[in-house]
Structure 1
Amino acid sequence: MKTKYIVRGLIATLLLAFSISSCESYNEELLDGLGNTREFSPIGLTAIIRSQTTVELNWTVKEGENNYVVEFSADDPEFKTIFKTVNVTANQLPIRVALEGETTYSIRVKAVTPGLEDSKWSVITATTLAEQIFLASVDGDIEAKQVTLRWTPNSNVTQIVVNPGAITHVITPAEKASGIAVVTGLTGETSYTADLFNGTKKRGNKAFTTAIDIGNGILVKTTDNLIQKINDAASGAVLVLEQGDYTAQSGIVTLNKSITLRGLRSYSKPLVKLNFVLGAGASNFSLIDLDLDGTGLTDPAAVSNGLITFTGASAIFGDVLISGCKVHDVAKALVYGNASLAKVKSFTVENTIVKNVNTTASADFIDFRLTYVADIVIKNSTFDTCSTGRDFVRVDAGTGLTGTGLTTNVLIDSCTLYQVSNTVAPKRILYVRFVSNASIVRNTLITSTTAIYTNQSGTTMPTFSKNYYSGAPSFMDATIAANKIDASGTTADPQFTNPAGGDFTIKNQTMIDNKIGDPRWR
């Protein structure tokens, strides 16, 4: 019995001691709050990397605190060497501090108030990305066999390395001062990456594709008859159009051969007013760096149903491409395929701005019905006020093709969609009914539309990643019947510069950092 009471007594004593200790800790904090001699350490400290090498710092401001000291140490968690010190007031938060690239910074913040001892440090780390001091290219910088590269003048830089080929250009003192250098020895129509160095430290990175080296291409001038040039060209020919206005020769061009039409200069796109009907034999067809105007175009034969129309039962088509173009004021579809048992390997739209296309609601925007398409790829492009009252991508279950082991794949990547498929009764971005289908939508910004992705049982649930919506609530509205929503999506205002004027430059820093939408607007 005595042993039992002794044990109980010990337990009670320990609990009492713990309780007193807790009360003393609480009272100490309370007394500090009432008459402390030292400032409290900042809490809620966050560090976000913005624009590659700028860190945005924020923390919770305590009433009465106004002044802070921020110290940065580069690749040095013990703060043996202070890289930078910044004095901050509460009303300056959040602050952004420019740092060097590819460095892990230890960052500490303390509160400073006259009459009180400085607070203890609050510490956080942040790792910057590769520095980017390359400036945007201007018209004429990228040629077929050389490139002019620009960076912030008087920056500490020593050499440029261009790959593939490890082409090294040593920067002269004059080039360093001006921030301009020309790298030669390149090949036309080739994708390159240029890295700017100071010694071994990278200070900039730029991807570019060299312009066309005409070579065996056929140069077309505004004084030529464009339609005749197209008709006379051999299968597989590349017609290279000088800048200028070609709309004097307008109409519907029927093709039974592979051909490429492209502008000579990507920054000065030739203005063309043609629609194209592709028949058997037109295996590969490309439109590159053109300004394609559909204003007033009609087809008396009623064969053309948009910018590009596939015809020919059982015809086999290869790759069809629209790249680097401006497409506008086309009354019907961007592409239309209703040729029975015909097959298309791929249809791709990239680096293109499309405006006021499919405005008469007589078809869908990308419209494959009896014609099978294996891959639809839509990337790095902007779609402005297109397909009002109709669907964006439509792929039907073509008789004799669907259910035979074929699959249609749709990819929408890094695009900006504004007022697309907008109507009171929700239209669909993905109206895909081919029996075997798969869709991916990622890094895309959709705004100002009542559209949904799909409400079709035959459309396989799309895969979504890093998509943003503004004024487009239906994409995430599970109350709409049969609606297949993007549960991972984010609603946020992109802060467009002037959408009514076609300027979709975004000011929302989070979207910029996350690389959302058409890259040209970031």
Structure 2
Amino acid sequence: MKTNKSKFFKMIYPAVLLVGLGVASCKEDDENLEPMRMFIPGGEISSNAGETEVTLTWKTPPNTVAGTSTYTVEVAKDTLFQTPVILTAQADTAKITFTNQQLNIKENYFARVKTNAKGNSPESKWLVSSRFSIRGEQIFNTPLSSEIKDKTVLLNWRPSAGLTRIVITPANGTARTINLTPADLAANQLLVTNLTATTSYTAEIFAGTLSKGTITFTTKEPSLFTYTVSPSDDLVAIVASAANGDVIGLEPGVYTANASNILIAGKMVTLQSTSGNPANTKVHFKEITLKGTGAGVKVSGIEFDGKNAAGTTVGDYFINIDAEAGTLSSITVENSNIHDIINTFLRANRGAAGGSQKINFIKVDNSIVSRNAVSSYQTFMLDRLDFNRLDVTNSTFNEAGRGLISWATNYTPAVKPTILINKVTLNSFGSGGRDNIILDANALPVIFTVQNSIIANSPKAGQTVLASALRAGTGSEVQFMNNNFFKLEGGSPLAPLTFPAYVQLANNKTIDLGWTHATTDFSLPAGSELRTAGVGGTSIGDPRWVK
């Protein structure tokens, strides 16, 4: 005989199931609305690292009035806080600052923050930060190329109280401590001796146990001249007869080489002062010409003056690559002073077609280039040249060309070249109604970085330029970081130069330093924020101007 039991269960079971689901759903919603979650600090924890402190910030919890909550902050060495908590602090705003008296500089930490209980509201859950650190002070100035020798280095620093010692450590070697004397402290510099040639070193300066700055440098090779010459010798003839790889040492004095070009054909030649000091070794020049496969030049520690003895400017180009096709060696200009040029610093656009001339690298370091007349060429005129790398570092360009870099002939290069402008002071440039006066790469892809530099006063006095700062092709990587721009203008009426949307701009400033087109002393004012505005807290612009 059948009963209604099975029928009853068929009716009641779905109802029970629905009730159960409803209870589960309410429980889940209750968990989402749990007070511990509701009052958790909002967003994420951001960090802003300085030389001596780091500030952590977060958002006020949702549905909470700013300034009505307090927070507990804990710091440890791992995200799970399984290592001992290093310190615990309280904050009554949504931020907190830790100093180098609380945390070690250059060490990585993690923080977690919770909203404290208040009235009927319980404490919240923890919000955990990403890794952060205190950057550490950097009072060292960047050593100039002329201050680094094979066995010595001259270290300079900005004034700081309580300095006691410098520790010099060679790569894979034993550290050496040098206690600073009153004379060292008064001069804010130390000549370190007894170093090993071609060796990488780290120098760290201390006030007691507190680190105040760290730099790295590499000592040079010993100076080995193939032969030396004197001002009475015919420098043009000597270079013409030199063999590939010769290092010609120029003894102090004034050389006359402006009647004809200094031709370097099919070989690599180095011209270097024996003193290492451009102030006592001068060459009156017309042009250095590179010609053919294998041609290259390195100049070091020399002043190149484009004026002749009568004071007439005769220097057409500083370096000019001849039209002959081929794969050249390299160009290096270091610790030199080049001035009074009719056309431009470097012309490399004479090739018959894009890529018909190739070169490995072009490097300018610790040099001053000035008084380039108003001309029809950019400072680096690289159209049609297939190059791997251009580095311009620790240098000053004043009264430069109609633009800085041109690489505007479209063709297919062997590689995407890298261009680095780092710690450069560039003042008074741009003329001839040109556009893209910082870089014109047309449709060619480049990796272009400008950092730690000061760029000012465009266009040149009495000249015009257009409004765009640069152009580069699809696939380019372009970034401007930690620079200072002022009076960098173009268009009509004059307005600040514009940067394309694909340019990454970060940490740049627009502080007017009062420079004009006639300025020749680019020293940064004492206490200027630009002395610590560079990447890692270093100075920006040519380091020679922060001594």
C-alpha distance 518-159 of structure 1, shift in aligned 2 (>3 A): closer
Shift of the alpha carbon at 1:335? 1.1
Q: Which residue number corresponds to residue 288 of structure 1?
A: 300
**What is the correspondence of 1:63-462 to structure 2 with a 5 Å cutoff?**
63-65=66-68, 70-74=73-77, 77-78=80-81, 81-84=84-87, 90=93, 93=95, 95=97, 97-98=99-100, 99-100=103-104, 103-109=107-113, 119=123, 122-128=127-133, 135-136=140-141, 142-147=148-153, 160-163=168-171, 166-171=172-177, 182=192, 184-187=194-197, 190=198, 192-194=200-202, 206-210=215-219, 213-216=222-225, 225=231, 228-229=234-235, 231-232=237-238, 235=242, 236-240=246-250, 246=254, 251=258, 254-257=261-264, 258-263=268-273, 270=280, 272=282, 274-278=285-289, 280=291, 283-292=295-304, 294=306, 298-299=313-314, 305-311=316-322, 313=324, 317-337=328-348, 343=357, 345-346=359-360, 348-352=362-366, 358-368=372-382, 372-375=385-388, 377-380=390-393, 384=397, 389-390=402-403, 392-394=405-407, 396=409, 407=414, 410-415=417-422, 421=430, 426-427=435-436, 429-431=438-440, 439-442=446-449, 444=451, 450-454=467-471, 461-462=474-475
Shift of the alpha carbon at 1:360? 1.2
| Counterpart contact for 1:284–1:318, Cα < 8 Å | yes
Given residue 440 of structure 1, which amino acid in structure 2 is its aligned partner?
I
**What is the correspondence of 1:3-82 to structure 2 with a 5 Å cutoff?**
3=10, 6-8=13-15, 10-11=17-18, 14-15=21-22, 18-19=25-26, 22=29, 42-48=41-47, 50=49, 55-61=54-60, 63-65=66-68, 70-74=73-77, 77-78=80-81, 81-82=84-85
C-alpha distance 263-275 of structure 1, shift in aligned 2 (>3 A): same
Distance in 2, matches of 1:173 and 1:515, equals 24
| Counterpart contact for 1:494–1:506, Cα < 8 Å | no
The root-mean-square deviation of aligned C-alpha atoms, in Å, is: 5.6
1:387-424 per-residue CA deviation (whole Å, 9 max, x = no partner) reads 66557224658xxxx88xx7486421243566654776
Distance in 1, matches of 2:11 and 2:433, equals 79
Query: Larger RCO: Structure 1 or Structure 2 (Cα < 8 Å, ≥ 6 residues apart)?
Result: 2
Distance in 2, matches of 1:216 and 1:354, equals 24
Q: How many residues align?
A: 476
- Which runs of no fewer than 5 residues in structure 2 stay unpaired? 1-6, 459-466, 491-497
| Counterpart contact for 1:51–1:513, Cα < 8 Å | no
Quick one: which of 500, 510, 513 aligns to 1:498?
Answer: 513
1:463 correspondence with 2:486 = no
TM-score (norm 1): 0.66
- Which runs of no fewer than 5 residues in structure 1 stay unpaired? 33-39, 475-482
Is the partner of 1:168 in helix, strand or coil? coil
Shift of the alpha carbon at 1:45? 4.8
1:278-301 per-residue CA deviation (whole Å, 9 max, x = no partner) reads 1558932122244555576533xx
Shift of the alpha carbon at 1:464? 0.5
Is the partner of 1:7 in helix, strand or coil? helix
TM-score (norm 2): 0.64
